[in-house]
């Protein structure tokens, strides 16, 4: 069985067109990462730690960074928090130009935040292979602001904010309506430059300190969203091969690391997503004062994160993950024991062998006809309906786990919470309650804001797996390949 570590799939391709969405996305991430490194030098240090850890990890396997697929080294995610439906609509139009579309709904109300969440990301296998960059995007839910006065203040400030320059809007309009071939390389450059303005940090708040403090008292996220002229990127997250080593290294180099790694415990067969971060910095901000005066203050929002990605799990696999996580959270609260120890104990129940995970239908796999096996399929006396297990056993087909491209709401809440400023990890209650009806209503609300349906991430993985089985079927000339029992 393969490991979750991607194999080198380098493909030679021609010079990309300036308006190719995958190419634009890659240019955008590179520019964003450079900007954020300048704004938050500690993020640059984190990237260096990740490179150092990955190099050592690869050396121990007799490999080097060049052996990783190109997507791995480009790989990042970022996060932004928006204020209004108009902002959400415009960002989804911009991200679409870069080949990123909303996937998955994250009900953050369930974990104590007045926000809807989704991830804008590429959806096709090819786009993901080129560059899987994704943006965890949240939008304020004014209906969840408990004080009517605060709600009024927040919505009125946001109603006049203009995140998108007129040049950017013009370019998005053009990209949507005209043939992309008519857009020049210079237009593409402008799109990147104008986009960066949305995500740039402003150390000058657009409101007086008093307003900031009122909003912050309601919820620190409300202040972060409402009080600034941009939707500053609040973190960027490189992917690593060994998150435990990065966590240890952050601590030994004196970075203000989060107390613990979110997600499943360390396993042989990595699943889903494990994340940690260095905590948000307290930064100097000036607030509007009387007449020409400004007032000094601080704001805590921006941090650096790191992630280790494993395999995408099926619905059954996700249910097991959620159930074990809930059990671990319950037990560590009751027993007041080291929560990582409890997590490890509880997760012993989650199979940790690729073949078992596959046979039990817990993880999604990408199936492929072994390169040298296409012409000899006949020699294997394969016809009609054949079970996948046989094809794998005879080496006619190979498989590898599909990488998880998304996020986890409970982990996200842990990341949010440790970056609110001044609180310990887990300072805000993180409940794992099942309120499916309510979540469904919230999802529909966000779909209304976006003006489109949000596909479930699990359906997309299911489709990728099914398509790969169909591809094998066609190549081998079989009428059916049976998966599962
Ligand atoms: C987003 C936090 C969630 C993740 O990786 O789970 C997140 C935010 O702080 O805005 O980025
Ligand atoms: Ni993140």
- The residues lining ligand 1, judged by C-beta closer than 6 Å to any ligand atom, are 79, 81, 136, 138, 234, 275, 305, 407, 411-412, 415-416
**Bridge partners, 278 (sequence order):** 257, 304
pLDDT on residue 379: 57
Q: How far is the CA of 305 from the centre of ligand 2 (A)?
A: 6
Q: Distance (Å, rounded) from C-alpha 193 to C-alpha 145?
A: 34
Q: How far is the CA of 389 from the centre of ligand 1 (A)?
A: 39
Ligand 1: which residue has its CA nearest to atom 6? 412
- Residue ranges of the chain with pLDDT lower than 50? 1-12, 423-428
**Bridge partners, 385 (sequence order):** 480
Collect residues with CB below 5 Å from ion ligand 2: 79, 237, 305
Ligand 1 atom nearest to CA at 412: 6
| pTM of this structure | 0.93
Ligand 1: which residue has its CA nearest to atom 3? 412
pLDDT on residue 425: 46
Q: Distance (Å, rounded) from C-alpha 54 to C-alpha 60?
A: 10
pLDDT on residue 380: 62
Tokens 């817990």 belong to: 362
Q: How far is the CA of 210 from the centre of ligand 1 (A)?
A: 27
């Amino acid at each position: 069985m393969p490991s979750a570590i991607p194999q080198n799939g380098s493909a030679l391709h021609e010079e990309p067109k300036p308006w190719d969405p995958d190419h634009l996305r890659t240019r955008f991430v590179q520019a964003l990462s450079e900007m954020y490194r300048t704004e938050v030098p500690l993020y640059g240090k984190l990237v260096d730690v990740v490179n150092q850890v990955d190099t050592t990890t690869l050396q121990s396997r007799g490999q080097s960074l060049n052996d990783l697929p190109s997507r791995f080294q480009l790989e990042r995610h970022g996060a932004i928090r928006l204020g209004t439906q108009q902002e959400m609509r415009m960002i989804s139009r911009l991200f679409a130009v870069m080949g990123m579309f909303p996937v998955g709904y994250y009900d953050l109300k369930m974990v104590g935040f007045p926000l809807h969440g989704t991830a804008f990301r590429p959806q096709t296998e090819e786009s993901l292979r080129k560059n899987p960059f994704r943006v965890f995007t949240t939008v304020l839910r004014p209906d969840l602001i408990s004080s009517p006065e605060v709600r009024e203040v927040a919505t009125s400030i946001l109603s006049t904010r203009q995140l998108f320059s007129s040049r950017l809007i013009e370019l998005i309009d053009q990209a949507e309506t005209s043939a992309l071939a008519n857009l020049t390389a210079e237009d593409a450059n402008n799109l990147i430059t104008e986009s960066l303005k949305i995500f740039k940090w402003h150390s000058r708040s657009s409101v007086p300190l008093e307003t900031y403090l009122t909003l912050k008292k309601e919820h620190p996220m409300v202040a972060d969203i409402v009080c600034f002229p941009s939707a500053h990127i609040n973190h960027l997250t490189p992917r690593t091969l060994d998150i435990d080593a990065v966590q240890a290294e952050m601590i030994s180099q004196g970075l203000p690391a989060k107390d613990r790694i979110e997600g499943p415990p360390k396993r042989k067969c990595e699943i889903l997503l494990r994340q940690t971060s260095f905590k948000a910095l307290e930064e100097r901000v000036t607030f509007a004062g009387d007449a020409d005066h400004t007032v000094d203050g601080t704001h805590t929002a921006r941090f650096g994160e790191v992630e280790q990605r494993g395999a995408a799990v099926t619905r059954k696999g996700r249910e097991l993950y959620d159930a074990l996580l809930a059990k671990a959270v319950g037990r560590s609260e009751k027993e007041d024991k080291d929560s990582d120890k409890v997590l490890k104990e509880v997760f012993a129940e989650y199979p940790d062998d690729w073949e078992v995970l596959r046979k039990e239908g817990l993880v999604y796999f990408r199936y492929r006809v072994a390169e040298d096996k296409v012409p000899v399929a006949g020699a294997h006396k394969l016809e009609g309906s054949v079970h996948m297990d046989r094809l794998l056993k005879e080496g006619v087909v190979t498989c590898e786990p599909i990488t998880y491209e998304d996020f986890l709401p409970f982990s996200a809440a842990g990341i949010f919470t440790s970056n609110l400023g001044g609180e310990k990890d887990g300072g805000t209650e993180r409940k794992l309650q099942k309120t499916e009806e309510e979540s469904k209503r919230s999802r529909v609300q966000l779909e209304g804001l976006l003006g489109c349906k949000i596909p479930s991430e699990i359906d997309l993985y299911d489709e990728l797996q099914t398509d790969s089985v169909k591809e094998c079927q066609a190549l081998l000339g079989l009428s059916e390949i049976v998966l599962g029992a």
